[in-house]
Amino acid sequence: MLSSRQATTGYDYVIVGAGSAGCVLAARLSEDPTVRVAIVESGGKDRKTEIRVPAAFPKLFKTPYDWDFSTAKQTELGGRELYWPRGHVLGGCSSVNAMMWVRGHRDDYDAWGEAAGPEWSHDGIVPYFRRAEGWTGAAPDGSGRPSVYGTEGPLSIAPPRDPNPTTAAFLEACRSTGLTELPELNVPDPSGFSLTPVNQRAGRRWSTADGYLKPAARRPNLDVITDVRVRRLAFEGTRVTGVVTASGNVLRARREVILSAGAIGSPQLLMLSGIGDPEHLRETGVELRAVSPDVGRHLQDHLSTAVTMRCPLPVTLTGADTLRNVGRFLLSGRGPLTSNVGEAVAFVRSTPELDAPDIELIYAPGPFVQHGLTPPTEHGVTIGVILLQPASEGRITLTDDQATSAPRIDPGYLTDASDLRRLTAGVRRAEALFADSAFAPYTAGPMAPYPGIVDDEALARTIRDSCETLYHPVGTCRMGTDDGSVTDPRLRVRGVEGLRVVDASVMPRITRGHTQAPTVAIAEKAAELIREDARV
């Protein structure tokens, strides 16, 4: 809530959005006791029990803790409108996601370096991953912590606490079909398979709100403001001087406003404030302040399709919330409720000649379909097939000039024909894993909507009819050295002063992994850039 004192008091920095990036920024910037920081979150506090319970994250979807977005009708998906959950709570998506800490491939960040300068390359960004990481587990072989991780960071990273017995079958199937067993998933080239490192501590979710924001909130120079929506930016000439809330209050920023509202919210706020494509702003009745045609463009997301099989044994996550398992979780942080659902992964190539993986296979020891919104009635196991490097792009646009209106989200799924071919190849790799003898005790035929092994034409229809987001939108405020980029390599918004964007929207290209880890690394680096510029 916004107090009268907060409504009239100025700050040095005002951060919009207390999600994966915003929590990092609030903690790091408020380490300097001479500055005053406000972080404004439209959602509420993260007190709901299901946030703490890893396996319960689907129960947060379509609740007040979720923005509950939907896409525009997707032409290549039979006109379907896809559900897009996004965190609407302290911690943002780190409070509602599957907790997978997956950095991606070296080539991803070297491509960032080509777009935005060498400091964003793999070798430049790795120190910021390590600064964030607080590894709490042994290496997979029990030899101590993997050297790839940092150990002193605020964000707890651990191996799965109690992997499902069927997860061992997935790992064995990967091994026997010739995939490389990785000593640790987050090596520079993660081609191969591994258990999934997770954001957990003692079997419970550990979000950026837990690791960064809550310890920092004790500082007298940090105000954490919840349940307050930002309507637009405040200006004096070309300089951003604060934010205007939905109730008309103004939070002043003497130094900078930082948008960390995500790949949907940040471009929406820029456009509502007059920064964007002039033609689009004119159509929606927004006064132009700065020409930036790429705001909202270059939207990319990881598209996923599920290969799900019935399981004849009652060993999966179906029905995991028994009284006994609840007791194990509460007393010792053990049992199936500690599962993040995506317990293991394999990174593979859709064709052998590729330099790096373009498909991820995520193993879930349960029938995870339709985002887990419908509780399964039978046991099953799933391999999610994810297109890591989509050629298709989409766009975020305004529907009108009101902050309370959801923007139009058009990911442009499968508009490039190569994406469907690669997803189809990924499904064939998943089918080969399920056909391995390691899975023989745990599979008993296909489970809808997966039809079983069919020809490519029928499989393509199934993919179009049932694929879903993996919750990783990026790129809508891309950074770069070129004049057309929305943000420069220091994440400052071009065309105005006193404004940065720090979240997944600045990624020049989507990573071959998950977006939580790189978003946190971006925020760690951004905090350093902001402090450097303040000294200058």
What is the Cβ-side half-sphere exposure of residue 371, based on CA atoms within 13 angstroms? 20
- Phi, psi (degrees; rounded to nearest 5) at 74: -95, 110
- Per-residue b or e along 86-99, where b marks 16 or more CB atoms closer than 10 Å to that residue's CB: bbbbbbbbbbbbbb
Whether omega before 441 lies within 30 degrees of 0, making that bond cis, reads: no
Spatial contact of 529 and 501, defined as CB atoms under 8 Å apart: no
Burial (CB count <10 Å: 0-12, 13-18, 19+), residue 377 = exposed
Rounded to a whole number, what is the largest CA-CA distance in the chain? 68
* 472 catalytically annotated: yes
Q: How many CB atoms lie within 10 A of CB 278?
A: 14
- Could you say which DSSP state residue 209 is in? I
| CB-based contact 396:388 (threshold 8 Å) | no
Count CB neighbours of 371 within 10 A: 17
Q: Which helix (H) or strand (E) holds 432?
A: helix 417-434
Question: CA 485 to CA 483: how far, in whole Å?
Answer: 6
The tokens for 42 are: 């439209």
Query: Among 122, 298, 302, 472, which one carries the catalytic annotation?
Result: 472
Number of Cβ atoms within 10 Å of the Cβ of 363: 28
**Cβ–Cβ under 8 Å, residues 426 and 346:** no
Residue numbers annotated as active site: 472
